């Protein structure tokens, strides 16, 4: 039962955040600082999530095959590879390192 309460509270919270966003005056949304923040915040959150999922295991810091895959993806991004090539490089390197271990 507590799971359904958590789902309901989360749904209500999401609705209220959406409603709050719609009630903000347009002048506030046009500020350059806010525009820059809204452009960079999702990137920062995604980078933090990727780092947490790659280097954390419960409460310990871990360097394993996931780190090698992330490094391969970063290298593919540096050479401006297409998105599918970046994903494929990460998958292949991660699988290769796991197969060797």
Residue range 38-73, pLDDT digits in tens: 899 999 999 999 889 889 888 888 898 999 999 999
For the ranges 24-33, 60-69, 84-93, the maximum mean pLDDT occurs at 84-93
pTM, to two decimals: 0.62
Q: How many angstroms from the chain centroid is the CA of residue 2? A: 28
**Which is it for strands 60-61 and 56-57: parallel, antiparallel or unpaired?**
antiparallel
Q: How many angstroms from the chain centroid is the CA of residue 59? A: 19
First to last CA, the chain: 43
CA proximity to 87, closest of 101, 70, 100: 70
> 83: which 2 tokens?
């998105």
Range name among 25-29, 87-91, 95-99 with the lowest pLDDT average: 25-29
């Amino acid at each position: 039962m507590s799971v359904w309460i958590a789902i309901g509270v989360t749904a209500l919270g999401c609705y209220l955040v959406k409603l709050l966003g719609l009630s903000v005056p347009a002048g506030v949304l046009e500020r350059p600082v806010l525009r820059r923040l809204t452009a960079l915040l999702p990137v920062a959150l995604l980078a933090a999530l990727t780092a947490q999922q790659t280097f954390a295991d419960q409460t310990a810091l871990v360097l394993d095959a996931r780190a090698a895959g992330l490094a391969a993806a970063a290298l593919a991004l540096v050479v401006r590879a297409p998105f599918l090539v970046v994903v494929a490089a990460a998958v292949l390197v991660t699988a290769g390192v796991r197969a060797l271990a």
